[in-house]
Chain A
Amino acid sequence: MYPNLLTTNQAVDPVFMFIFGACLVLLLGITATMLVFVFRYHRSRAPEPTSQSSGNIWLEITWIVLPSILVLAMFYYGWAGYLSLRNVPKNALPVTATARMWSWSFTYANGKTSSKLYVPVGKPILVNLVSLDVLHGFYLPAFRVKRDVVPGMKNHAWFVATKPGSYDLFCSQYCGVGHSAMITSVEALPEPQFAAWLAQSASMAEHPGKELLEKHGCLGCHSLDGSPKIGPTLKGIWGRKVTVMTGGVERSTIVDEPYLRKSLLEPNADVVKGFPPIMPPFGKVLKEDEINQIISFLRSNGVEQSPLDGKKLAREKGCLGCHSLDGSVGAGPTFKGLYNKQVTVMQNGTRLTVTADDAYLSESIRQPKAKIVEGFQPIMPPYPDLKDDEITALVEFIEAVK
């Protein structure tokens, strides 16, 4: 397909051959000479030394100059090969690899994410490396490619798979307990299959939350496009900082789930500054799951979303880097049979036993440091960008792992 393309293997392997070859010759030469001398001049055969020579300037010059030339050649080939590793072909397909303790996720130009690196055969891939926490290493032994993934730094690597197949992808830079489990693979697919894979994304239905907004007339007072109406616009409301009047006192708060819920049920408890207290309470009108759907819609800022797959999420967010599904103990407790189990946890230095119900599980995900399961280290990172429905999906997924 790209006959003239230099692959990373072609850049590196000859250098290996050359240096290994030279070293082997040297090593065998030195060993053989040594053994011959030891044998020939062993005290049993040579009771007295037959020479007291203490040097020979020409010999020494020879073995300064020759090795110098040799190592310079090694240096040169090594450097030349390295340059090809750095020269990214122009037509390379960009993919972003995100590393975190202890999992990989790959993002393609069209926004698709995956926990394995799918690539088309024969096309160079440019991997942009992003770390969310500590150092990791992006290592593809099959392609002789390695680059550290450094937080705050834009590193990249490129490679091309010439044959379809599955290749190991390791984390090479030590990054903590899950380091050796931070393994995934490169899946090289023939071009058409890859294109199909890339295009395939779950077809998205209209979000049920939006229908509810229409149905209950919310959109009469609130816009979805940022324009002001009687009430504040709902565009970008999630996470927004608002100033509200609570019982006549001014305070500022962040829009989150409890806030939205309260805004629907008792709209006049917190009134956004600059707006009249005229919104009716919806407590009698909306059912619990409808409220959840509305909140989930607002949370997604009106962007349509596919229903969440907890298992996929758990893999992508790296939960499975620490939590197993088969009962084995990793860096964190296993998810298997966790739901409704009695767990012993440490909270602020006191030991207590709790039931792993929905509330506990979502707290464990939101604030991992709040309750630490006995026998584990407080290393689970917080996930500030996990949205509520994602957490719900995760909890549901955990519930399902029996």
Chain B
Amino acid sequence: MGSADQPETVASSFWNDTGRSGITSWIFSTDHKRIGLLYFYTVLSFFLIAVSLGVLLRIELMAPGRTIMGPQTYNAMFTVHGVVMIFLFIIPGFPGAFGNLIMPIQIGAQDVSFPRLNLFSWWLYIFGAAIIITSLFTGGGPPDTGWTFYVPFSERTTTNVSLAVFGVFVVGFSSILTGVNFVTTIHRLRAQGMTWGRLPLFVWSIYATAWVQILATPILGITLALIIAERLLGTGLFDPARGGDPLMYQHLFWIYSHPAVYIMILPAMGVISDVIPVFSRKPIFGYKMIAFSSLAIAAAGSLVWGHHMFTSGMSDTAILVFSFLTFVVAIPSAIKVFNWVSTLYRGSISLEAPMLFALSFLLLFSIGGLTGLILGAAATDIHVHDTQFVVGHFHYVIFGGAGFAFFSAMHYWLPKFYGRRYAEKPAVVAWALMFIGFNITYFSMMVLGMKGMPRRYYDYLPEFTALNLTSTIGSWILVSGLILMLVNLFRGLLKGEPVGDNPWGGATLEWSIPSPPPTENFVEEPVVTHGPYDFSGSGIP
């Protein structure tokens, strides 16, 4: 980042009207927009690192036996891939980057409630990330436990688990503080007239997410602290030889980590709920239901953690309860999908890049979510648990869902902050490549899982060769799309055509202020008089 990326032609904006300059004007800034961009670039860097690891994983799996790395390297690599993707990219990604950039503007505020705490969160995140990175090169080498850190293996392996886990702990603390900050902001700093019924749906989803961050993350914190205690002090709480129970670890881990998947998807759903109406020029269908279902997902989603443990030896009663509740969470997601599709009806649809990503989100998330139902049903999960099917499922929801929504948000909102935009044609080509590559890569994995190939397998039996090769080739198409997309996007942001205040014709508050916005966002405090998707009142052509 730094001032090098700063668009030169803009007059007075948050890029240049602060007292300080240079790098310190960024890393010590308390302006939510600067912090948002800090998050955005750090998160994106980690994404690129982890994505490269993902591609290496695929190359290794291209053929049976050793292809480019040994088993220990492979195991470390998928662990680091998972940890970085989950804890350094997707969980901090939406709230940290777009939550910070957009949410305060959308509610008509000048900043978040605790701007200094906000900066502190970012620093904690960087600090935690640095620890995780350090853990890869020190001690016994990168952790090889999988991102789930299951005991007893994580207590025995000689790799550098303690340090990595500590890094994740710190990042979790950062996530908690962000959540506290956002809930307070949304309660306290809404502009005049910005009633709860007029909150943009992205804000609603950030609100629901923030609650999950507050209530679930501490459990992760204590769980990780326990791993460290087990390793360093030998407390034996999960060690069967000393009265412990390894399944209790799994409970604690998933009490956080299932709700965490909603930290990943809820803001993504918020983005989609904002993008689809704008590109259809039509109010969102069933605003209340969508807002409410975000809360419902957050609430019900906290009660289903046991569905990751169907084969673990958990009691059958628990399986009954958790399987049932898993199906209950699917309902609010279904509501959203139906409402989004209905929004298209009799609109005026323009297929620009943000919309293409949003529509493909609908498809990919549906596939991912529906395969989630297979996993939620007790009988079928037994067969596909811990296979490539699960890997397929979560890449569909995380990458196809949250990831594509992230790309949609990048195309939709970044021009606001740079005042310039990307070129449309390459963006569409990149989208098409990614969409095709994505499906080839991950659909093959799901088929592999159905055929019985377990996950976290460095090597496999010859019968799985063809599909693995297909999947690997798909990942290359995906790579080319991603590279094209990023190059085009950032070229555009720096050198592209200038955009006006409201390039897409949006009705939410961020489109009523200049691009790029001034530091204080609103020159005078806004008074909100209409809903977020009321396109008739906003004076759009």
Interface residues of A (CB under 8 A from B): 11-12, 15-16, 19-20, 23, 26-27, 30-31, 33-34, 37-38, 41-43, 46-56, 59-60, 63-64, 67-68, 71-72, 74-75, 77-86, 133-135, 137, 139, 141-142, 144-148, 150-153, 155, 168, 170-181, 183, 328-331, 377-379
Chain A nearest CB: distance from B395 CB in Å?
17
Contacts of A155 in B (CB 8 A): 313
Contacts of B289 in A (CB 8 A): 55, 60
Kindly specify which of B223-231, B337-345, B518-526 makes contact with the partner chain. Answer: B337-345
Could you show 8 A-B contacts with beta carbons less than 8 Å apart? A12-B383, A60-B289, A71-B373, A83-B316, A134-B152, A146-B385, A172-B386, A172-B387
Give bound CA distance, A43 to B91, whole Å: 35
Kindly specify which of B37-45, B169-177, B363-371, B417-425 makes contact with the partner chain. Answer: B363-371
Chain A nearest CB: distance from B452 CB in Å?
3
The contact of A148 among B313, B367, B452, B457, by CB within 8 Å, is: B313
The contact of B346 among A15, A51, A151, by CB within 8 Å, is: A51
Interface residues of B in 482-539 (CB under 8 A from A): 533, 535-536
List 19 other contacts, CB 8 Å, given A15-B379, A49-B282, A82-B316.
A12-B380, A23-B373, A34-B362, A38-B351, A41-B345, A46-B346, A60-B335, A67-B331, A71-B331, A71-B373, A81-B380, A82-B310, A84-B379, A147-B313, A153-B245, A168-B452, A174-B75, A178-B71, A377-B140
The contact of A46 among B157, B349, B363, by CB within 8 Å, is: B349
Which of B71, B146, B324 has the most CB atoms of chain A within a 10 A radius of its CB?
A: B71
Interface residues of B (CB under 8 A from A): 66, 70-72, 75, 140, 144-146, 150, 152-153, 156-158, 240-241, 245-247, 280-289, 310-313, 316, 319-320, 323-324, 327-328, 330-331, 334-335, 337-339, 341-342, 344-351, 359, 362-363, 366-367, 370-371, 373-374, 376-383, 385-387, 451-452, 454-461, 533, 535-536
Assess A49 versus B377: contact at CB under 8 Å? Given A75-B323, A134-B156.
no
Contacts of A74 in B (CB 8 A): 327, 373, 376-377
Give bound CA distance, A330 to B66, whole Å: 10
Give bound CA distance, A178 to B378, whole Å: 29
Chain A nearest CB: distance from B12 CB in Å?
35
Chain B nearest CB: distance from A60 CB in Å?
5
Give bound CA distance, A137 to B371, whole Å: 22
Determine whether the beta carbon of B150 is less than 8 Å from that of A135.
yes
- Across the two chains, which residue of chain A brings its CB closest to B370? A23
The contact of A50 among B145, B341, B346, B376, by CB within 8 Å, is: B346
Determine whether the beta carbon of A133 is less than 8 Å from that of B382.
no
Chain B nearest CB: distance from A51 CB in Å?
4
Determine whether the beta carbon of B382 is less than 8 Å from that of A12.
yes
Determine whether the beta carbon of A47 is less than 8 Å from that of B144.
no
- Across the two chains, which residue of chain B brings its CB closest to A55? B286
Chain B nearest CB: distance from A57 CB in Å?
9
Determine whether the beta carbon of B378 is less than 8 Å from that of A51.
no
Give bound CA distance, A151 to B243, whole Å: 11
Give bound CA distance, A339 to B359, whole Å: 64
Determine whether the beta carbon of A137 is less than 8 Å from that of B379.
no
Determine whether the beta carbon of A77 is less than 8 Å from that of B351.
no
- Across the two chains, which residue of chain A brings its CB closest to B76? A177
**Chain A residues touching B, majority SS:** mixed
Give bound CA distance, A56 to B452, whole Å: 44
Chain B nearest CB: distance from A127 CB in Å?
13
The contact of B71 among A67, A135, A152, A330, by CB within 8 Å, is: A330
Which of B157, B338, B378 has the most CB atoms of chain A within a 10 A radius of its CB?
A: B378
Assess A63 versus B72: contact at CB under 8 Å? Given A142-B452, A151-B246.
no
Give bound CA distance, A260 to B506, whole Å: 89
- Across the two chains, which residue of chain A brings its CB closest to B141? A377
Determine whether the beta carbon of B288 is less than 8 Å from that of A153.
no
Determine whether the beta carbon of B385 is less than 8 Å from that of A16.
no
Contacts of B313 in A (CB 8 A): 147-148, 150, 153, 155
Determine whether the beta carbon of B319 is less than 8 Å from that of A82.
yes
Determine whether the beta carbon of B377 is less than 8 Å from that of A174.
no
Give bound CA distance, A15 to B373, whole Å: 11
Determine whether the beta carbon of A174 is less than 8 Å from that of B146.
yes
Determine whether the beta carbon of A51 is less than 8 Å from that of B282.
yes
- Across the two chains, which residue of chain A brings its CB closest to B242? A152
Contacts of B284 in A (CB 8 A): 54
Determine whether the beta carbon of A78 is less than 8 Å from that of B323.
yes
Determine whether the beta carbon of B144 is less than 8 Å from that of A177.
yes
Determine whether the beta carbon of B373 is less than 8 Å from that of A180.
no
The contact of B454 among A20, A23, A152, A172, by CB within 8 Å, is: A172
Determine whether the beta carbon of B348 is less than 8 Å from that of A139.
no
Determine whether the beta carbon of B327 is less than 8 Å from that of A377.
no
The contact of A71 among B152, B282, B330, B362, by CB within 8 Å, is: B330
